[in-house]
Amino acid sequence: MNRGFTLIEILVATTVFSLALGAMSSLFVMSLQGQRSIFAQQNLVDNTRFALEQMSRQIRMARRDETGICTGSAGSTYSGGGASIIFIDPQSNCRTYDLSGGIIRMRLDTGQEFRNLTSNDINIERLDFDVRGQEATDGEQPRVTIVIDAKDPNQHSAGIILQTTISARSVDVP
C-alpha cells in the first residue's frame, strides 16, 4: 500500500502549479497596465475636449472691438493667430487664450493672471489658431480654426489631434 507522494510527483505538481501561477500573474499585470493606459488616454481626451469646448464657446460669442483697445485694431473681432488669440467676450472682457509650457491658459482681462485650462497631467504640443475674416472690411464672416495636438507625457501611446472651426455668432458680412 502506497501512503504518500513520491519526490518526482511533488516536483511535477509544484512545477505545474508554478507555471499556472506565473501565467495568471502576467495576465493580471497586463490587464492592470491596459487599464492604466485607458485611464490616461481618457484623461487626455477629457482635458483637451474641455479646453476646446471652452475656447469654442467663447470664440463663437466674440464681439467686434470697435475701439481696438483689446485686439489692437479698431473694428476687428479677433487678434492673433498661431499659439494665441485675443478677443472681446460676451461679458465685455478682453479674453486671451495661449499656450505656455505645454498648458493652454486663459486670461480674462489684460493685466490679470493667466489661469490654466488644461491639467499638468497632459502636454499640449501644439495649439494653433487660424484666424480668418477678422476685419470688418474684408467681406468675410469671422472664423477661427483651432488645432490642438496633445500627448500624455507619462504614456508612450499615441496622442490626439483635435480640430474645429468656429464662426462668430454675430453676422459680420456687409
pLDDT digits (tens, 9 = 90+) for 86-142: 999 988 899 999 999 999 999 998 778 999 999 988 999 999 999 987 776 777 788
Q: What's the confidence (pLDDT) of residue 172? A: 58
Q: Rounded mean pLDDT of 148-158?
A: 83
Burial of 75 from C-beta contacts in 10 A (0-12 / 13-18 / 19+): middle
- Look up residue 14 and give its three cell numbers: 509544484
Structural contact between residues 86 and 80, judged by C-beta atoms closer than 8 angstroms: yes
Q: What's the confidence (pLDDT) of residue 30? A: 92
Q: What's the confidence (pLDDT) of residue 1? A: 60
Q: Provide the percentage of residues in the chain whose pLDDT is more than 70.
A: 94
Task: Name the more confident of 54 and 154.
Answer: 54
Half-sphere exposure of 15 (CA within 13 A, CB side): 6
CA 142 to chain CA mean position, Å: 24
Q: What's the confidence (pLDDT) of residue 2? A: 67
pTM: 0.79
Q: What's the confidence (pLDDT) of residue 116? A: 95
H-helix segments, the chain: 7-60
